[in-house]
Amino acid sequence: MVVLLSTYLLAGCAISNRDGPIVLKVAQASNENEQNFLGRFESERRINNEYIQDLSEKQPDIRLHPSIIPAEKLEQELRVQTNSGLGPDLVIANSNQALSLLADGLTDPLKMTSELQKTISAEALKRVKTSDGSLAGQPVSQYIQLACFDKRKLAQAPKTLAELSSDSSHDKVFGMVLNMDDLYWSVGSFGAGEALAHSLADKKTTTAADKRLTNWLRWLKTASYQQNILFLRTQAALRAALISGEMSWISCWSNQLPQLRQALKEHLGVARLPDGTFGRATPITRLQVWALGKNSSKVQREESLKLMEFVVQPWAQKTYALKFRMAYPVNPAAAQIVNKQLPGGLAEFSEAEYLRITRGDRIVAAIQKSPILKDAIESTLSEIIFDGLSPEKATVQIKTQFKTKQ
């Protein structure tokens, strides 16, 4: 985030002809839901601090005051700050949070010209649009599900689930996180998305679609029986295991790559997640959105809008993507430029891929919006992996939970 801010200012868009520096207060939600992980902000703070220092040296006319807030506490913290008149000028969160914050009156809707909207993926804009057509914020970047592995333990990442199973029988340890967000990529490998989408829309599912959902759940259960395939509760635990050498391969998110690169250096491998017998893996995305806070002065709002316009232009999007190599641009023109220069998995992502996985994004978004549904789904996944629930009964449970939203 800060690299874009510094680039924007260094590109000639800095505030000038003012008596003192303009302060833009930025509230950034942590991308990880890992409440019990003591180092959850370490990588984010390191990146931010690096560019805040650079900005202070090269642009003395502006002061940025970013703060990282746990995602689960973002709404509460913004409510306190906004009610006291000290709310941020910019709020950086995911698309679901941005929609919730606007609905709760904690941010202002964003008005974008049709020209500016053309610089952003149409699918990304759909994810921040409300029922009345308002925009809850501006998409800036996309974080993608990937496979991360230790090159000292694996010559290459498995390309299929069959290869993953085979490799795990040869003292290679594989790890995944036990929740729908982190497991949804494997749904596409079995073609199970149709049953989930139809159940969510309260539509009748076909016998074939139900069978594919059952096959996915059976794979989860079978995988849990394999000694070297482990299901953990958090991404932090997975990364710690990969860094310590306890695991050979984990599912990961592209925004976690800086921490892994710092720890594993040239030994870190990045690849696309494995496909199944039915089809390709369907990794979902986490959309980073910039929203407008409620307490900005006229000048602060003007500068915030100028900054937001700049960060989705091709040059800034390209610079950010290649600088950190952890996010995919929301600007299609920039995406074409950087595609072949990004790490494995990210480089294979495309606008066409984005359209293919949109269903998964919507399904996961629906789960995230309903705490009751989220708890119910995670309970069922735990039962099938750790307890004696059969794939057939789990299929019925999940379909019912989606239909009743609980």
Residue 205 and residue 107 in one domain: no
CA angle 158/161/167 to nearest 5° reads 50
Our count of domains for the chain comes to 2
Give the pLDDT confidence score for residue 15 in this predicted structure: 39
One domain for residues 363 and 220: yes
| β-pair partners for 68 | 28
Indicate if 138 and 162 belong to the same structural domain.
no
Residue 75 in tokens: 């709404």
- For residue 14, tell me if it sits in a domain: yes
> In sequence order, which residues have a C-beta less than 8 Å from that of residue 214 and are 6 or more positions away?
391, 392, 394, 395
Instruction: Tell me what pLDDT residue 94 has.
Output: 92
**pLDDT at residue 47 tops 70:** no
Q: What is the pLDDT of residues 102-144, one digit of tens each?
A: 999 999 999 999 999 999 998 899 989 999 999 999 999 999 8
Q: How many other C-beta atoms can be found within 10 angstroms of the C-beta atom of residue 153?
A: 17
Res. 261: pLDDT tops 70: yes
- Asked if residue 275 and residue 359 are part of one domain, the reply reads yes
Backbone angles phi, psi at 23, to 5 degrees: -100, 125
280, 379: one domain: yes
Identify the band that residue 341 occupies on the pLDDT scale cut at 50, 70 and 90. Answer: confident
Is residue 357 located within the same domain as residue 242?
A: yes
Taking only the tens place, the pLDDT of each residue in 278-319 is: 888 888 888 999 999 999 999 899 888 888 888 898 988 888
| Whether 90 contacts 291, CB under 8 Å | yes
Task: Give the Cα-Cα-Cα angle 249, 72, 312 (nearest 5 degrees).
Answer: 75
159: containing domain: 144-284+353-404
Same domain for 250 and 371, yes or no, is yes
Residues 307, 368, single domain; the answer is no
Where helices occur in 104-253 by DSSP H, the ranges are: 114-117, 122-126, 161-168, 180-183, 185-190, 193-200, 207-225, 235-244
Q: Is residue 348 part of a domain?
A: no
Within 8 A by CB and 6+ apart from 135, the residues are 109, 110, 111, 112, 125, 128, 129
CATH number for the domain harbouring residue 154:
3.40.190.10
Same domain, 229 and 368: yes
Of residues 86 and 308, the one with the higher pLDDT is 86
Residues 374 and 303 in one domain: no
**Are 172 and 270 within one domain?**
yes
Task: Check whether residue 290 and residue 265 sit in a common domain.
Answer: no
**How do beta strands 138-150 and 328-329 pair?**
antiparallel
